[in-house]
Amino acid sequence: MMTLETELCGVLLKNPMIAASGTFGFGEEYSELYDISCWGAISVKGLTNRPRSGNPPHRIAETASGMLNSVGLENPGVDAFMRNELPRLARQGIPIIANVAGSTIDDYRESVGKLSDSPVSIIELNISCPNVREGGVQFGTSPERVREVTSAVRSCTSKPLMIKLSPNVSDISEIARAAEDAGADAISLINTITGMAIDAKTRRPILANVTGGLSGPAIKPVALRMVWQAAAAVSIPIVGMGGIMNADDVAQFMLAGARAVMIGTANIVDPMAGPRILAEIENFMQENEISDIRELVGGLRTS
Amino acid sequence: MKGDFHARVISNVSIARHVSDISLQLSLDAGEIDPKPGQFAHLSSGGVFLRRPISIAGFDKKNSRVRIIVRNAGIGSGAIASLIPGESIRMLIPLGSPYPLDLFAETAGVKKICLIAGGIGAAPLIFAADFMREFNEKKGKEIFSVESFIGFRDKISSFGLEEFERAGTARPVIGGLVTDALEKSLAHDRPDAILACGPEPMLRALQGIRGLNGIPSYVSLEAHMGCGVGACLVCSCRIATDSGHTDDDNVRYRRVCRDGPVFKLSEVVFG
Ligand SMILES: Cc1cc2nc3c(=O)[nH]c(=O)nc-3n(C[C@H](O)[C@H](O)[C@H](O)COP(=O)(O)OP(=O)(O)OC[C@H]3O[C@@H](n4cnc5c(N)ncnc54)[C@H](O)[C@@H]3O)c2cc1C
Ligand SMILES: Cc1cc2nc3c(=O)[nH]c(=O)nc-3n(C[C@H](O)[C@H](O)[C@H](O)COP(=O)(O)O)c2cc1C
Ligand code: FES
- Secondary structure letter of residue A83 according to DSSP: I
Q: Distance, in angstroms, between A61 CA and closest chain B CA?
A: 8
Q: Concatenated DSSP letters for B10-31? A: EEEEEEETTEEEEEEEEPGGGT
Predicted local distance difference test score (pLDDT) of residue A103: 87
Say how many residues make up chain B. Answer: 271
**pTM for the full predicted model:** 0.95
* Cα torsion B180, B183, B189, B193: sign: positive
Predicted local distance difference test score (pLDDT) of residue B105: 84
Q: Three-state SS for A125?
A: strand
Return the residue whose CA atom lies nearest to atom 46 of ligand 1. B224
HSE value, Cβ hemisphere, 13 Å, CA-based, for A26: 20
Chain B residues in contact with A269 (beta carbon < 8 A): 44, 49-51
Predicted local distance difference test score (pLDDT) of residue A50: 92
Predicted local distance difference test score (pLDDT) of residue A139: 82
Predicted local distance difference test score (pLDDT) of residue B187: 87
Nearest to B269 by CA among B241, B247, B246, B243: B241
Chain B residues in contact with A63 (beta carbon < 8 A): 49
- Chunked into runs of 10 residues, chain B (271 residues) has average pLDDT values of 94 97 88 92 92 97 95 95 96 97 84 96 98 93 93 96 95 93 90 96 94 93 97 95 54 93 95 78
Q: Which residue of B has its CA nearest to A53?
A: B246
Q: Does B156 touch chain A (CB under 8 A)?
A: no
pLDDT in tens, B47-78: 899 999 999 999 999 899 999 999 999 999 99
Q: Which helix (H) or strand (E) holds A265?
A: helix A265-269
What ipTM was assigned to the predicted interfaces of this complex?
A: 0.95
Return the residue whose CA atom lies nearest to atom 50 of ligand 1. B54
Catalytic residue check, A129: yes
Q: How far is the C-alpha of B235 from the C-alpha of B110, rounded, in Å? A: 36
Q: Three-state SS for A206?
A: coil
Chain B residues in contact with A54 (beta carbon < 8 A): 233, 236, 253
Kindly give the confidence (pLDDT) of every residue in chain A, 303 residues in length, as a single tens digit, with 9 standing for 90 and above: 899 999 999 999 999 999 999 999 999 999 999 999 999 999 999 999 999 999 999 999 999 999 999 999 999 999 999 999 999 999 999 999 999 999 889 999 999 999 999 999 999 999 876 666 655 667 888 899 999 999 999 999 999 999 999 999 999 999 999 999 999 999 999 999 999 999 999 999 999 999 999 999 999 999 999 999 999 999 999 999 999 999 999 999 999 999 999 999 999 999 999 999 999 999 999 999 999 999 999 999 988
Return the residue whose CA atom lies nearest to atom 31 of ligand 2. A265
Q: Does A299 touch chain B (CB under 8 A)?
A: no
Cβ neighbours of A143 (radius 10 Å) = 18
What residues 193-232 of chain B have any CB closer than 8 A to a CB of chain A?
223-232
What are the distances in angstroms from CA A220 to CA A212, A217, B223? 17, 5, 27
* B236 CA distance to ligand 3 middle (Å): 8
Q: What ligand has the least distance to the C-alpha of B20?
A: 1
Listed in sequence order, the residues at least 6 apart from A79 whose beta carbon sits closer than 8 Å to its beta carbon are A114
Q: Three-state SS for A209?
A: coil
Ligand 1-lining residues (CB < 6 angstroms) = A 62; B 40, 48, 50, 52-55, 68-71, 73-78, 120, 123, 222-224, 261
- Which neighbouring-strand residues pair with B93? B3
Q: Distance, in angstroms, between B116 CA and closest chain A CA?
A: 25
- Terminal CA-CA length for chain B: 33
Nearest to A156 by CA among A112, A220, A123, A95: A112
Q: Which residue of A has its CA nearest to B45?
A: A269
In chain A, where are the structural domains located? 6-296
* B169 CA distance to ligand 3 middle (Å): 36
Predicted local distance difference test score (pLDDT) of residue B245: 44
Q: Which helix (H) or strand (E) holds B185?
A: helix B178-186
What are the distances in angstroms from CA B198 to CA B41, B171, B232? 17, 16, 25
> Mutate which of A192, A245, A262, A277 to test ligand 2's pocket (most atoms within 8 Å of Cβ)?
A192
In this structure, CATH architecture of domain A6-296: Alpha-Beta Barrel (3.20)
What are the distances in angstroms from CA B253 to CA A88, A261, B9, B271? 24, 31, 36, 11
- Which neighbouring-strand residues pair with B32? none
Cβ neighbours of A82 (radius 10 Å) = 18
Chain A residues in contact with B48 (beta carbon < 8 A): 62
Predicted local distance difference test score (pLDDT) of residue A135: 55
* Cα torsion A163, A166, A167, A172: sign: negative
* A204 CA distance to ligand 3 middle (Å): 23
Of the candidates A54, A80, A268, the beta carbon closest to that of B236 is on A54
HSE value, Cβ hemisphere, 13 Å, CA-based, for A195: 22
Nearest to B220 by CA among B106, B107, B120, B71: B120
Predicted local distance difference test score (pLDDT) of residue A178: 96
